[in-house]
Structure 1
Amino acid sequence: MTPFKLTDEFLAEIELLMDSQKDLEIKSLLEDLHYADIAEIVNEFKEEKGTYLIKLLDSDKTSDILIELDEDVREAILNNLSSKEIAEELEELDTDDAADIVGELPREIVEEVISEIEDREHAKDIVDLLRYDENSAGGLMAKELVKVNENWNVLTCVKEMRAQAENVTRVHSIYVVDDEEMLIGRLSLKDLLTTSTKAPIKDVYIPKVDRVNVNEKPEEVAKIMSKY
């Protein structure tokens, strides 16, 4: 696949289509582009036309575009969106990215935006993250994860993992917790696939987990990640 290269000609074509309100043609032109490429395009336009593109495209794509935008461009566009429109964008994002956007909003509309999020569990997770200092591990983390109970067998574990994974964008690890929801280890997918479906997870999981405290500074988190 050839990397996208933004040209003056392409920008002029998009602008002409916007001026002519040819929305279907714009959508067709942008359909196969990566969200980072579309963010590059939006960064080149003034506030009004950048907002036009964001409102034109579907939230499942524009939410990622917003995260990639230059901060001042994103701020200007968010100022042109209603609380409901912002909430729709947040619904599509992982909690860490959603919390970053909420943190940039004027204080007077934050509560209104949160109240417009239909998924109340997602809204609660975003609010939880906002309580942490942005310059800490808690301020950087996402609440989405896949976790299994040590007392489940492998078959139950796989079924639960499938259900949970639907709401997780990136699955890097499978975490194991006890009945008190305390982290006690992690799962190797290889071990999971090669073990009897009747075997209990407590006989399969790896008890060692590298972890950090939510109040840890990002620099220290980076050192630990780099080492392990």
Structure 2
Amino acid sequence: MEFKISKELIQELEQLIQNKNDQQLEVLLNDMHHADIAEILDELDFDEATYIFKVLDSDKTAEILLELEDDLRENILGRLSAKEIAEELDELETNDAADIIAELSKDLKAEVISELQDVEHAKDIVDLLRYKEDTAGGIMHKEMVKVNENWNVLTCVKEMRIQAENISRVHSIYVVDDENRLKGRLSLKDLLTTSTKTPINDIYIRKLNSVNVDTEDIEVARIMQKYDLEAIPVIDELGRLVGRITIDDIIDVIKDEADKDYQLAAGITQDVETNDSIYEHTKARLPWLLMGMLIELIASYVIKGNEATSQKFYTLIIFMPLLSATAGNIGVQASAIIVQGLANGTLKEFSRSYFSKEIAVAMISGTIIAMLVLGYHTFMYGQFQVGMAISISIVVVILFAAILGTLVPLFLHKNNIDPAIATGPFITTTNDVFGIMIYFGIANLILGF
């Protein structure tokens, strides 16, 4: 059953904190999952959250740190000494510890690293801090099980027992040579069913997917999704095994990318959270609003330039919102499918067959909508010629929107710009300007203005 915070639980915790009943606090919280405790701490004020954090053991609080909201984690870390922070990080895997250290100030970062008890752990963390956070090197674990191709099965098992002590889950057993270059992987089944004297070189699997330390994290996610991998090894420029990436790390990457694309599609230029300040929200959202305003001002000048046509055939103005909304929706739909294809790898570049399909869909949709509008306009206003002008305009504008929605994301992708930008305000406002220009151009042509 999913954990849910109750008002009674929060009140009980606040009472225990007030009475400084540490023993009862431990009893109440120790059996809870660290993610549930983090959720509870987010409901308390900073002082209460910090108090609970210091009561619990570091093996528990280390995992809690990873689940906390950024501002609460920053506040709690700010109230801990460098030694206390190091005690927390000693309990974490290297990539998680590196993520937390990266959030600290330069001076505190150096002090915390110097306080780490496990020297090898500290070296691995420092090594991870060298990589950009959006690369394979930036999200990989240093903890893994690896064996030498020159060992036999018995030696391999003995070494695996030692290495596995510091690893929570063993996804794969990697095989390396004397220079630590990745050679392949070892099947656990083969290891268990083979004679202890059998050389590893005779049984390991040589075909293996891997990524370079500089591979972008979203590309790692695509590879792991394509080949249905739970983990993937990471190598350096010389082919040496330096780490591994697990599926839980990739889930975080996919979630972050989806959040970013969703916000870009909504016209938000930088990543924001619900608990960010008013200034940060305004800074992220205002640029596209201002750009939209400028583009729509152009549209208003187009309408003003066709004032005479609008006055004589007033229904042109009445149907303008329908035209803009329909074209905007078609454009967003087309661009959303392209962006999705680029993200999941089913579309890598311009495809003539898909482009033709999108044009056919737009043509069919536009014709159906145009016929309905023509029938409605003729019935309601008795102006068949004006209705024809509006209907033909709708078909042309929908075709234009489909072309724009298809080609713009591909153009952005080719120029290394996130194509998700094209699924929101950019498409709708651009369609507005060009759609209105096309609308009045066709109307003037048909109606003789």
Q: TM-score range by the shorter chain?
A: over 0.9
RMSD over aligned CA atoms reads 0.8
User: 1 CA distance for matches of 2:169 and 2:103?
Assistant: 24
Letter in 2 for 1:127: V
Residue 197 of structure 1: how far off its partner (Å)? 0.7
Aligned to 1:61: 60
Counterpart mapping for 1:37-56 below 5 A:
37-56=36-55
Aligned to 1:106: 105
Q: String of CA shifts for 1:27-71, please: whole Å, max 9, x gaps.
A: 000121111111111111111111111111001110000001111
Residue 4 of structure 1: how far off its partner (Å)? 2.1
Aligned to 2:205: 206
Aligned to 1:22: 21
User: 2 CA distance for matches of 1:24 and 1:177?
Assistant: 49
Counterpart mapping for 1:2-151 below 5 A:
2-151=1-150
Q: String of CA shifts for 1:170-194, please: whole Å, max 9, x gaps.
A: 2110000011111100011011111
Considering Cα pairs closer than 8 Å and 6+ residues apart, tell me whether 1 or 2 has the greater RCO.
1
Letter in 2 for 1:138: G
Letter in 2 for 1:33: M
Q: String of CA shifts for 1:6-25, please: whole Å, max 9, x gaps.
A: 11110110010000000000
User: 2 CA distance for matches of 1:208 and 1:15?
Assistant: 56
Letter in 1 for 2:84: E
User: 2 CA distance for matches of 1:202 and 1:167?
Assistant: 26
Residue 168 of structure 1: how far off its partner (Å)? 1.0
Runs of 4+ in 1 over 4 A off after TM superposition: none
User: 1 CA distance for matches of 2:104 and 2:8?
Assistant: 34
Secondary structure of 1:166 counterpart:
helix
Aligned to 1:227: 226
Aligned to 2:156: 157
Residue 219 of structure 1: how far off its partner (Å)? 1.2
Letter in 2 for 1:182: R
Letter in 1 for 2:53: I
Residue 78 of structure 1: how far off its partner (Å)? 0.4
Secondary structure of 1:4 counterpart:
coil
User: 1 CA distance for matches of 2:208 and 2:49?
Assistant: 44
Residue 3 of structure 1: how far off its partner (Å)? 2.9
User: 2 CA distance for matches of 1:214 and 1:48?
Assistant: 40
Q: Which has the higher helix share?
A: 2
User: 1 CA distance for matches of 2:62 and 2:79?
Assistant: 15
Aligned to 2:186: 187
User: 1 CA distance for matches of 2:109 and 2:30?
Assistant: 31
Letter in 2 for 1:40: E
Aligned to 1:175: 174
Residue 169 of structure 1: how far off its partner (Å)? 1.7
Identical aligned residues as a percent: 63
Q: TM-score, normalised by structure 2?
A: 0.50
User: 2 CA distance for matches of 1:64 and 1:208?
Assistant: 35
Aligned to 2:431: none
